[in-house]
A and B are shown apart, each in its own frame.
Chain A
């Protein structure tokens, strides 16, 4: 069932029915689920009341989950046969790695790091303090059903190097599965970590991760995410980050996979001179839909937030950017910048952009902008007149468009990994 032709009432019913099936799963599983049972019950209550977000939810205005609502999801098997093929698709990175298969940590496929403490949520469940299940329905769904995840912590002053967090997914004999991993990354004062998160898979599934990120004073987390999920997959990721004084959260998310994807980030700059970079790129084709939604809360003076989101849209794909900067009363000398740009490679592609500023301090510098355009005919002709064939000229200009977003990524391993993904995407479009 595609759901595209469904009436509003039928869509509502489908959402309610899927929500009911998740609630029933929770009832059946709850005695065996790890961690704080009260937190789960509260999340179940919130999810029961709100259900799956629909078009009337302001935060989901541009992303309709009707295609998801038409699905029936099953529990993932604990052991997925044939995940070697998926493992082979992971970029060859020499760093330690945590490998999850259908949301479960697989120690046998992982290489544990010596520079930081790492455990599975299944063993050391901790829902943390930043997640808002009462506000975000998918965070409620995650809190209700999370079974595993990565609990990562780096001790004070330690440079922990690079860690790969891989999520491999596969449906089971063509039956869609849903999994809701719960991750937590904690960097103590002065700690450093480069976290490269890669999501890929085969078939139809819902990957609904929630991450809590705590960046301590003067700590630096470089968080590079590559979402290359299966074409039939749903990837709805919510991240909550809290950045202390002089700390930096340097985030970049590249979305090239999934049928419907949402990258939702809530970042709180809680101490003076904290920095948040919430950059990203979405490369879409066919009927893909990807939504980049962020809320940055400047709650302390002299903090900086930077956001450049680039969309390259072909076919009938649709990109969404919702960005909100909130500046609290005392957050003077706030420096906030937000830019959303879209390159439309076809007449049927679409971008929706909704920037919002909410400022309660008087001495701030906040700006935002958006641009939409096609490839420039003069630029294409210039390249062709130099002998560059048209497809190659277009590819070169698309890469150039992305360069501004990708160039600030200083970590070479991460950059290589993203560059390769961009090439893969381009080859898929050409095919």
Chain B
């Protein structure tokens, strides 16, 4: 279970998160929705451990472990995965090599045996097929020359291979057409189960038509201003953030 209490964070001396309270019980998928600049991406990065954000207060624990004290790689080993809003290009690094390095690093950290190239390729091919990702995506350099949709699909492929316990999807739906959106949603839905939780950060309700969340939280001005069931997403879509935020205030 992910438990965030009173989390505050600064970027360059400006407070962006002003005390976030949020709990995602194991096995549940929660959505965080909010207008631009509300702190959605900051929340994602702070949880993943990016060091240009200064945490100034509060806590975030995952299965009782203090996430904020861990290095980013240790958070990944603990089962956290961040699907980036803007996946990073790695020229000169083959995607298959990248995925295998990542998988084996987390396996090593968990005391599991590493996979050799053959075992890895078998696993990776099964996942590419399941997610309708062309095989050649494994051969290309990580995200280099990928379209926006391909980059997002590559994030989902990584997630499928790394099998996190907690996935944070940071606006994974942005820039996707409906087909790509369905693939991304399918990727998340197949991971759903009693041991998997997700925090789906999005601006729009349309992704939530395909990934039905257990709870929806509205983030505005650095705080969760409202929480509710899946119907809250529709309400936001119908009335806009302004009215919902105003109502909460």
Of all chain B residues, the one with the shortest Cβ separation from A405 is B92
Whole-angstrom distance between the Cβ of B157 and the nearest chain A Cβ: 12
Across the interface, do B88 and A382 meet the contact criterion of CB distance under 8 Å?
yes
Whole-angstrom distance between the Cβ of B88 and the nearest chain A Cβ: 4
- Name B73's contact: one of A388, A400, A403 (CB within 8 Å): A388
* Residues from chain A with Cβ under 8 Å of B82 in the complex: 385
Q: Among residues 95 to 146 in chain B, which have CB atoms less than 8 Å away from a CB atom of chain A?
A: 98, 101-103, 105-106, 109
Whole-angstrom distance between the Cβ of B178 and the nearest chain A Cβ: 27
Q: Among residues 383 to 426 in chain A, which have CB atoms less than 8 Å away from a CB atom of chain B?
A: 383-390, 392-393, 396-397, 399-404
Q: Does B162 contact A (CB under 8 A)?
A: yes
Across the interface, do B76 and A386 meet the contact criterion of CB distance under 8 Å?
yes
Using A384-B49, A385-B49, A396-B101 as known contacts, say yes or no to A390 and B73 having CB atoms under 8 A apart.
yes
Across the interface, do B71 and A384 meet the contact criterion of CB distance under 8 Å?
yes
Q: Does A360 contact B (CB under 8 A)?
A: no
Whole-angstrom distance between the Cβ of A100 and the nearest chain B Cβ: 35
* Residues from chain B with Cβ under 8 Å of A378 in the complex: 88
A-B residue pairs in contact (CB < 8 Å), sample of 5: A382-B87, A384-B71, A385-B84, A386-B158, A387-B76
Q: Which of B84, B90, B106 has the most CB of A within 10 A?
A: B90
* Residues from chain A with Cβ under 8 Å of B162 in the complex: 386-387
- Name B109's contact: one of A387, A393, A396 (CB within 8 Å): A387
* Residues from chain A with Cβ under 8 Å of B50 in the complex: 381, 385
Across the interface, do B105 and A399 meet the contact criterion of CB distance under 8 Å?
no
A400 to B71, CA, bound (A): 23
Across the interface, do A386 and B102 meet the contact criterion of CB distance under 8 Å?
yes
A401 to B122, CA, bound (A): 28
Q: Among residues 287 to 319 in chain A, which have CB atoms less than 8 Å away from a CB atom of chain B?
A: none
Across the interface, do B101 and A385 meet the contact criterion of CB distance under 8 Å?
no
Across the interface, do A379 and B102 meet the contact criterion of CB distance under 8 Å?
no
- Closest 5 A-B residue pairs measured CB to CB? A400-B92, A387-B76, A387-B106, A386-B102, A403-B92
- Name B105's contact: one of A379, A388, A403, A404 (CB within 8 Å): A388
Interface of A is mostly: helix
B contact residues vs A (CB 8 Å cutoff): 48-52, 71-73, 75-77, 81-82, 84, 87-88, 90-93, 98, 101-103, 105-106, 109, 158, 162
A386 to B77, CA, bound (A): 8
Of all chain B residues, the one with the shortest Cβ separation from A403 is B92
Across the interface, do A392 and B101 meet the contact criterion of CB distance under 8 Å?
yes
Whole-angstrom distance between the Cβ of A373 and the nearest chain B Cβ: 13
Whole-angstrom distance between the Cβ of A257 and the nearest chain B Cβ: 24
Of all chain A residues, the one with the shortest Cβ separation from B80 is A385
Using A387-B77, A387-B105, A387-B109 as known contacts, say yes or no to A382 and B71 having CB atoms under 8 A apart.
no
Whole-angstrom distance between the Cβ of B162 and the nearest chain A Cβ: 7
Given contacts A383-B101, A388-B105, A399-B92, 12 further A-B contacts (CB under 8 A): A379-B88, A384-B71, A385-B50, A385-B73, A385-B75, A385-B76, A385-B82, A386-B76, A386-B81, A386-B102, A388-B101, A388-B102
* Residues from chain A with Cβ under 8 Å of B91 in the complex: 400, 404
Whole-angstrom distance between the Cβ of A327 and the nearest chain B Cβ: 31
A153 to B49, CA, bound (A): 60
A385 to B84, CA, bound (A): 10
Across the interface, do B71 and A383 meet the contact criterion of CB distance under 8 Å?
no
Whole-angstrom distance between the Cβ of B70 and the nearest chain A Cβ: 11
A373 to B90, CA, bound (A): 15
* Residues from chain B with Cβ under 8 Å of A399 in the complex: 92
Whole-angstrom distance between the Cβ of B72 and the nearest chain A Cβ: 4
* Residues from chain B with Cβ under 8 Å of A376 in the complex: 88
A382 to B106, CA, bound (A): 14
Using A384-B76, A387-B102, A392-B101 as known contacts, say yes or no to A401 and B109 having CB atoms under 8 A apart.
no
A241 to B48, CA, bound (A): 54
Whole-angstrom distance between the Cβ of A425 and the nearest chain B Cβ: 17
* Residues from chain A with Cβ under 8 Å of B87 in the complex: 382
Across the interface, do A401 and B101 meet the contact criterion of CB distance under 8 Å?
no
A1 to B189, CA, bound (A): 69
- Name A384's contact: one of B72, B98, B103 (CB within 8 Å): B72
A385 to B155, CA, bound (A): 12
A4 to B5, CA, bound (A): 58
A75 to B208, CA, bound (A): 80
A17 to B102, CA, bound (A): 57
Across the interface, do A401 and B92 meet the contact criterion of CB distance under 8 Å?
yes
A381 to B51, CA, bound (A): 9
* Residues from chain B with Cβ under 8 Å of A390 in the complex: 71, 73
A387 to B165, CA, bound (A): 13
- Name A397's contact: one of B71, B73, B93 (CB within 8 Å): B93
Across the interface, do B49 and A382 meet the contact criterion of CB distance under 8 Å?
no
A351 to B177, CA, bound (A): 46
* Residues from chain B with Cβ under 8 Å of A383 in the complex: 90, 98, 101-102
* Residues from chain B with Cβ under 8 Å of A396 in the complex: 93, 98, 101
Of all chain B residues, the one with the shortest Cβ separation from A400 is B92
Across the interface, do A387 and B73 meet the contact criterion of CB distance under 8 Å?
yes
Whole-angstrom distance between the Cβ of A346 and the nearest chain B Cβ: 19
A396 to B88, CA, bound (A): 14
* Residues from chain A with Cβ under 8 Å of B106 in the complex: 386-387
Across the interface, do B105 and A382 meet the contact criterion of CB distance under 8 Å?
no
